[in-house]
Amino acid sequence: RLSCQSTDRSMPPGGKIRQTVLQLYRDFLRLGRQKPGVADLAKREFRRQSRIPASDVVRIEQQVRRGKHLLATLSSQHVTGIGSMGPPVQSKIDPASTASKS
Protein backbone atom coordinates (compact mmCIF):
# COMPACT_ATOMS: atom_id res chain seq x y z
CA ARG A 1 0.00 0.00 0.00
CA LEU A 2 1.39 3.40 -0.98
CA SER A 3 1.38 6.25 1.47
CA CYS A 4 0.23 9.69 0.42
CA GLN A 5 1.91 11.46 3.32
CA SER A 6 4.50 14.06 2.52
CA THR A 7 7.99 13.63 3.94
CA ASP A 8 7.51 16.84 5.96
CA ARG A 9 5.01 15.12 8.28
CA SER A 10 7.43 12.36 9.21
CA MET A 11 10.15 14.88 10.01
CA PRO A 12 10.69 15.69 13.69
CA PRO A 13 9.70 19.16 14.94
CA GLY A 14 12.33 21.66 13.89
CA GLY A 15 13.71 19.25 11.28
CA LYS A 16 12.63 21.37 8.34
CA ILE A 17 14.28 24.51 9.71
CA ARG A 18 17.41 22.49 10.56
CA GLN A 19 17.61 21.27 6.96
CA THR A 20 17.19 24.84 5.71
CA VAL A 21 19.97 26.12 7.98
CA LEU A 22 22.35 23.33 6.93
CA GLN A 23 21.62 23.95 3.25
CA LEU A 24 22.27 27.67 3.70
CA TYR A 25 25.59 26.87 5.42
CA ARG A 26 26.61 24.56 2.56
CA ASP A 27 25.67 27.25 0.03
CA PHE A 28 27.89 29.78 1.82
CA LEU A 29 30.81 27.33 1.92
CA ARG A 30 30.33 26.55 -1.78
CA LEU A 31 30.37 30.28 -2.59
CA GLY A 32 33.45 30.60 -0.39
CA ARG A 33 35.40 28.47 -2.87
CA GLN A 34 34.90 31.21 -5.47
CA LYS A 35 35.10 34.35 -3.35
CA PRO A 36 37.73 34.96 -0.65
CA GLY A 37 36.49 35.63 2.86
CA VAL A 38 33.00 34.19 2.41
CA ALA A 39 33.73 30.81 4.01
CA ASP A 40 35.39 32.44 7.03
CA LEU A 41 32.45 34.80 7.44
CA ALA A 42 29.98 31.91 7.22
CA LYS A 43 31.83 29.80 9.77
CA ARG A 44 32.11 32.70 12.19
CA GLU A 45 28.48 33.80 11.84
CA PHE A 46 26.96 30.32 11.95
CA ARG A 47 29.01 29.52 15.05
CA ARG A 48 27.89 32.76 16.69
CA GLN A 49 24.24 32.25 15.74
CA SER A 50 24.29 28.64 16.97
CA ARG A 51 23.70 30.05 20.46
CA ILE A 52 20.09 30.85 19.51
CA PRO A 53 17.88 28.32 21.33
CA ALA A 54 16.20 25.81 19.02
CA SER A 55 12.88 26.79 20.58
CA ASP A 56 13.23 30.37 19.26
CA VAL A 57 11.91 29.49 15.80
CA VAL A 58 10.93 33.06 14.89
CA ARG A 59 14.46 34.34 15.49
CA ILE A 60 16.01 31.42 13.60
CA GLU A 61 13.72 32.04 10.62
CA GLN A 62 14.64 35.73 10.70
CA GLN A 63 18.34 34.85 10.61
CA VAL A 64 17.75 32.39 7.76
CA ARG A 65 16.01 35.13 5.72
CA ARG A 66 18.89 37.50 6.50
CA GLY A 67 21.39 34.81 5.46
CA LYS A 68 19.60 34.08 2.19
CA HIS A 69 19.57 37.78 1.36
CA LEU A 70 23.29 38.08 2.14
CA LEU A 71 24.04 34.97 0.06
CA ALA A 72 22.16 36.45 -2.90
CA THR A 73 24.07 39.73 -2.52
CA LEU A 74 27.46 38.02 -2.27
CA SER A 75 26.63 35.78 -5.25
CA SER A 76 26.52 38.86 -7.47
CA GLN A 77 29.19 39.02 -10.13
CA HIS A 78 30.10 42.48 -8.84
CA VAL A 79 31.26 41.07 -5.49
CA THR A 80 34.75 39.59 -5.68
CA GLY A 81 35.35 38.82 -2.00
CA ILE A 82 34.92 40.03 1.55
CA GLY A 83 37.39 41.90 3.70
CA SER A 84 37.47 42.65 7.39
CA MET A 85 36.40 45.95 8.87
CA GLY A 86 38.06 45.28 12.23
CA PRO A 87 40.90 47.23 13.84
CA PRO A 88 44.20 47.18 11.99
CA VAL A 89 46.36 44.16 12.67
CA GLN A 90 49.74 44.95 14.19
CA SER A 91 52.71 43.95 12.13
CA LYS A 92 54.92 41.20 13.53
CA ILE A 93 58.00 42.91 12.12
CA ASP A 94 60.33 44.20 14.82
CA PRO A 95 60.65 48.00 14.38
CA ALA A 96 64.25 47.83 15.60
CA SER A 97 65.25 45.46 12.80
CA THR A 98 63.78 47.74 10.11
CA ALA A 99 65.46 50.83 11.58
CA SER A 100 68.91 49.25 11.32
CA LYS A 101 68.43 48.55 7.59
CA SER A 102 67.94 52.25 6.77
Going by C-alpha positions, the residue among 41, 46, 40, 44 that lies closest to residue 25 is: 46
Do the Cβ atoms of 80 and 37 come closer than 8 Å? no
Is the pLDDT higher at 40 or at 83? 40
Domain residues of the chain, as ranges? Answer: 7-81
Do the Cβ atoms of 52 and 60 come closer than 8 Å? yes
Instruction: Report helix, strand or coil for 75.
Output: coil
Signed CA dihedral, 31, 32, 37, 39: sign only: positive
Residue 99 has pLDDT above 80, yes or no: no
Give the model confidence (pLDDT) of 10-67 as tens digits.
Answer: 666 678 999 999 999 999 999 999 999 999 999 999 999 999 999 999 999 999 999 9
Does pTM top 0.75 for this prediction?
no
